[in-house]
Amino acid sequence: MSAGETRYRVIHFDDVKGVTCPCGTARRAFADVAESPGTVHRTEITADAKLHFHRRLTETYYILESEDNAAMELDGRRVPVRQGTCILIPPGVAHRAVGRMTVLIMVVPKFDPEDEVLVE
């Protein structure tokens, strides 16, 4: 490693361009880091999040902020959430957020939009 190079990466989510997703707007980090086994997303979830699942990705949601009556719909079951709630969502679990919230999502392996399947 040459002088000035680092092995770590630092991002500020406000500097990451937001992209539209079934939940609202996601800011995704570390997709371009070869050493990273996954990606980390800060997602602003809107009230009309769409039910979806992933074929091979595991997501871990950490609720940063939420409305008072926010919930996650997980395989047809509504689970109340609040700031500080953490949920592991393995492949195949149909899920969506209910109510407005901001979540930190850890995705392993790295996020792939082709792996996201909307449930009609």
Is the pLDDT at 1 greater than 60, yes or no?
A: no
Domain map of the chain by residue range?
20-118
CATH number for the domain running over 20-118: 2.60.120.10
| pTM score of the predicted model | 0.92
CA distances from 38 to 1, 2, 35 (A): 24, 26, 9
Is the pLDDT at 88 greater than 90, yes or no?
A: yes
pLDDT tens for residues 25-34?
A: 999 999 999 9
pLDDT tens for residues 93-117?
A: 999 999 999 999 999 999 999 999 9
Is the pLDDT at 48 greater than 80, yes or no?
A: no
Q: CA 48, CA 45: separation in Å to the nearest integer?
A: 8
pLDDT tens for residues 56-83?
A: 999 999 999 999 999 999 999 999 999 9
**Whole-number mean pLDDT of the chain?**
94
Q: CA 71, CA 96: separation in Å to the nearest integer?
A: 9
- Report the pLDDT averaged over residues 15-44: 95
